[in-house]
Amino acid sequence: MGNILKPIKNKDQQLSELAQQVAALDSSPLYKIRIENNYKPVFGEGNPDANIMFIGEAPGAQEAETGRPFVGRAGKHLDSLLRSIDLQRDDVYITNIIKDRPPDNRNPRVQEIEIYSPFLREQIAIIQPKIIATLGRFAMEFIFTLFQLPLNGKKIGEIHGTALHTFSELGETTIFPLYHPAAVFYNRKLEAALKTDFVILKKLAWSAGYL
Ligand code: URA
């Protein structure tokens, strides 16, 4: 009786099982903070068949209160950038590297990245996005490492808006680094670059038949 076929799970089922594992992740130092503050884990949301996946750093206060990524001020800006290229949140998938809110919005720690990154990797493996658009330096550096792409000391200011095509066990993926939508709040000069990069992203996706 060793050959019983297991039912094939669809992407929604696979993602919801993964989300349950994140919800139960009591080995994370951020889990205790989640429970103490009545926060929610922020797994990610959007179209599981999306060709474009946006990856940010970690949830902020509003995200932890609602359990949804990019719903605060940075999220409103992301929504407007999406609208500017005729896309809606439902057309794409949006998530973060870290799935629980770090206290006081501090940078995620190495140990936290190690704990949460297998879940992001699995999300990518399930969704199989054709384009991964990283939001900010943190997500860019993480994804470059995950896809074994050399950064050669380059900063986000030098490579934002540039597409990098990769072939890996995660499939054929184009990595597209973007400034974080919140970066504009600290440096207004980045707004034009971010808008232009979204137009480039749209053209890239459209010309490849991904939209
Ligand atoms: N910043 C992020 O990187 N992610 C969010 O979900 C919100 C703000």
Domains within the chain, CATH numbers bracketed: 11-207 (3.40.470.10)
Q: CA-CA distance, 61 to 52, in Å (whole number)?
A: 25
Question: How confident is the model at residue 2, as a pLDDT?
Answer: 55
Question: How confident is the model at residue 13, as a pLDDT?
Answer: 96
Question: How confident is the model at residue 52, as a pLDDT?
Answer: 98
Residue type, 54: F
Give yes or no for residue 57 CB within 6 A of ligand 1.
yes
Q: CA-CA distance, 139 to 51, in Å (whole number)?
A: 18
Question: How confident is the model at residue 5, as a pLDDT?
Answer: 73
Give yes or no for residue 56 CB within 6 A of ligand 1.
yes
Q: CA-CA distance, 17 to 180, in Å (whole number)?
A: 29
Question: How confident is the model at residue 105, as a pLDDT?
Answer: 86
Question: How confident is the model at residue 8, as a pLDDT?
Answer: 82
Give yes or no for residue 181 CB within 6 A of ligand 1.
no
For residue 56, report the distance from its CA to the centre of ligand 1, in Å. 5
Best of 65, 66, 70 for a ligand 1 pocket test (most atoms within 8 Å of beta carbon): 70
Best of 45, 96, 105 for a ligand 1 pocket test (most atoms within 8 Å of beta carbon): 96
Question: How confident is the model at residue 3, as a pLDDT?
Answer: 63
- Rounded to whole angstroms, the maximal C-alpha distance in the chain is 66
Strands 171-178 and 131-135: parallel
**56 forms bridges with which residues in the sheet?**
96
Q: CA-CA distance, 97 to 58, in Å (whole number)?
A: 6
* Binned average pLDDT, 10 residues per bin, the chain of 211 residues: 72 97 97 98 98 98 98 98 98 98 94 97 98 97 96 96 96 97 96 98 97 92
Question: How confident is the model at residue 60, as a pLDDT?
Answer: 97
